[in-house]
Amino acid sequence: MSRRRRIYEGKAKVLFEGPEPGILVQYFKDDATAFNNQKKGVITGKGVLNNRISEYLMTRLTEAGIPTHFLRRLNMREQLVREVEIIPLEVVVRNVAAGSLATRFGLTEGTPLPRSIVEFYYKNDELSDPMVSEEHITAFGWATTQEIDEILNLALRINDFLSGLFLGVGLRLVDFKVEFGRLWEGEEMRIVLADEISPDSCRLWDIKTNEKLDKDRFRRDLGNVEEAYQEVARRLGILPEGGPGDLKGPKTMQ
């Protein structure tokens, strides 16, 4: 029963053709992967929560002057987004040593960094998203120098804004990953924030206890994964109306 044309299917989301040209439907799955697909699982209700959390964060960021692909949420698991040409980079911003940075440099997780660090990874599952420098990005034509400057500027503004927003609800934004796309409006091209921002793509630690409230609970088998996503939504004031019982959402997606 394929009502809509599937444009792209990733590990956690599906993009469908939208109601008009240039607009897509972004569907959030409960599927979770880690370590480039080596670990697979399902986090019940994750899609519903990430749809809400990403809607909330993208809306706040838009208000703060950050251009995004987000248009509006459609239902429990879907949102309307502008079709963009995805720049094949995973842009990671870090405030505190954790994850692969801690491993790479032998740092204790939780050590504050002297300043925020931005890293680029080439978005390519077959190659396990290798880290790249600006030299690789320009030489291989993934983005121009001007586009990299714009991406760096946006990534740091997003970091400042989200760090403050999460601090306000008792969460430390340790690090996060974002993706950007080119949005064409006639002859004009703008770089906009795309994809999603959610506990799948951020590390969020409770400010007092350092409890992890993000996908590291799944990656590291820490338990209470669903509860952690719910807690982030709860703190942001956006748990679906029926409460956690309402998280499964509609059974079918098409």
Listed residue (129, 155, 119) closest to 33, CA to CA: 129
Q: Phi, psi (5° rounding) for residue 206?
A: -60, 135
Angle ∠(126,32,96) on CA atoms, nearest 5: 85
Q: Is 158 in the site for ligand TMP (CB under 6 A)?
A: no
Least distance to ligand TMP, CB of residue 88, Å: 13
195 binds ligand TMP (CB under 6 A): no
Interaction of residue 176 with ligand TMP, rule CB under 6 A: yes
The two structure tokens encoding residue 192: 């906009």
Q: Which of 24, 82, 80, 77 is nearest to 50 (CA)?
A: 77
143 is an interface residue for ligand TMP by CB under 6 A: no
Of the pair 91, 233, the CB lying nearest ligand TMP is at: 91
Interface positions, 78-137, toward ligand TMP (CB under 6 A): 92, 98-101, 129
Q: Quote the Cα angle for 48-50-52, to 5°.
A: 70
The span from the CA of 203 to the CA of 159, in Å, is 12
Based on the shown chain and the rule CB under 6 A, indicate whether residue 201 belongs to the binding site for ligand TMP: yes
| Residue burial 155-186, b: 16+ Cβ < 10 Å; e: rest | beebbebbbebbeeeebbbbbbbbbbbebeee
**Which structure tokens are listed for 53?**
């959390």
221: DSSP letter: T
Q: By C-beta, is 216 or 226 nearer to ligand TMP?
A: 216
- Spatial separation of the C-alpha atoms in residues 95 and 164, rounded to whole Å: 12
Please identify the residue of the shown chain whose CB is closest to the bound ligand TMP.
99
Query: Would you say 92 or 191 has its CB closer to ligand TMP?
Result: 92
172 binds ligand TMP (CB under 6 A): no
54 touches ligand TMP by CB under 6 A: no
Least distance (Å) from ligand TMP to the CB of residue 243? Answer: 27
Total residues binding ligand TMP (CB under 6 A): 12
Least CB distance to ligand TMP at residue 129 (A): 6
Q: Does 53 bind ligand TMP (CB under 6 A)?
A: no
Residue of the chain from 13, 46, 77, 177 that contacts ligand TMP (CB under 6 A)? 177
Alpha-carbon distance 169 to 191, whole Å? 29
Asked if 67 interacts with ligand TMP (CB under 6 A), we say no
Sites of contact with ligand TMP (CB under 6 A): 92, 98-101, 129, 175-177, 201-203
